Amino acid sequence: MKKFFRILMIVVVAAAFVGTFAYLFKRSQPKEIVYEELTPEMGTISKSTVVTGKIQPRDEVNVKPQINGIVAEVYKKAGEMVQQNEVIAKLKVIPDMNQLSSAQSRVRLSEVNLKQAQVNYDREKKLFDQQLVSAESFEKVSQALKQAQEEHSIAKETLEIVRDGVSSANKSGSTTLIRSTISGLILDVPVKVGNSVTMSNTFNDGTTIATVANMDDLIFDGNIDETEVGMLHIGLPVRITVGALKDLSFDAALEYIAPKATVSGGTNLFEIKASVQVPGDVTIRSGYSANAEIELQRAENVLTIEESALQFEGEDTFVYVMGAEGYEKRPVVTGLSDGVKIEIKEGLSTSDKVRGPQIINSK
């Protein structure tokens, strides 16, 4: 029995040794390399670039006050539509004390002059009725009374404007009523009731009461590298995709290419703008990040092959074409490439069989 187990153990060890040797021998053998076979074909090659940017309204305005004051009422909020000349907010005027004092003094002086002119007129009229003064003298007094009345009216109106920001004779054109200058969507109302606001002048941009934009007329605004800007032209079709709106893309047309570059991170970039055509049932918000795909070059009905078939030696480009004795090296002249396929201008035909990428099989 012991002899049997000894023999069995020797057989198992020998089998393991032979199996290991066979496995290692098989692994040590060179692997057969198989190549994918490609056939050139006629097709279209296009080269595109993708520009990042934002969607924004073409017309976006900041509505600002024409006077200094305090916000008394706000009638609109962000997200609401507004028509041109519609009131957005109302201001309470903070009068300048020097101007207010001067206006009050002018009113008092005009009252004194008016009273004196009225007295002179009443006296002159009695004498004129009694035919004791000439018509010319009476007309002068009458004219002086009219001038005093006009001066008093102007003085009171000036005081109202300085004190209240509007006169009783011109309430509809009040500068205390902040009106939208365009029709559109209110994007932002950065002020609240009680906030102080200032008018724009040489030294101050003024306080923005509201930002209004026409969201029916949108543009894509982005920057393109100087190496590609030379391939662009006005009217070039553009495909816009918005990150916030999945599976949606919009047609656009290039309408502006900046004549001057801006430098960003040591790179010269040129601003471009494209008018965006958005369907009526899609809501676009100002400032959405977007990508613009622009076709820079296009070659139609040309001979193409996968770019992976090309080989390079220095400045020479060649492929391996199946011949009578296997694959033969053949130089080619290439053209436009889209990163996957490339145009072959010379060296191949649709009847050729070209060696493609390697497919490694072990047998």
Helix/strand/coil for 354: strand
Mean pLDDT across the stretch 283-299?
89
Structure tokens at 198: 């200032």
Across 61-75, 204-218, 347-361, least confident range: 347-361
Most confidently predicted of 183-192, 280-289, 334-343: 183-192
Please state whether the predicted TM-score (pTM) of the whole model is above 0.85: no
pLDDT confidence tier of residue 234, bands split at 50, 70 and 90? very high
Q: Listing from the earlier edge strand, what are the strands of the sheet with 81-82? A: 60-63, 210-213, 184-188, 81-82
Cβ contact 81:184 at 8 Å: yes
Looking at every residue in the chain, the average pLDDT score rounds to 83
Per-residue model confidence (pLDDT) at position 362: 46
Mean pLDDT across the stretch 253-264?
93
HSE-CB at 320 with a 13 A cutoff on CA atoms is 14
Per-residue model confidence (pLDDT) at position 24: 58
pLDDT confidence tier of residue 262, bands split at 50, 70 and 90? very high
Q: At what angle do helices 135-164 and 97-129 cross, to 10 degrees?
A: 160
pLDDT at 27 over 80: no
Per-residue model confidence (pLDDT) at position 173: 47
Write out the DSSP string of 66-128.
Answer: SS-EEEEEE---TT-EE-TT-EEEEEEE---HHHHHHHHHHHHHHHHHHHHHHHHHHHHHHHH
The burial of 176, by beta-carbon neighbours within 10 Å (0-12 exposed, 13-18 middle, 19 or more buried), is given as buried
pLDDT at 58 over 50: yes
Question: What's the pLDDT tens digit per position in 109-134?
Answer: 888 888 888 888 888 888 878 887 78
Q: What residues form DSSP beta bridges with 32?
A: 361
Written as one letter, the residue type at 289 is S
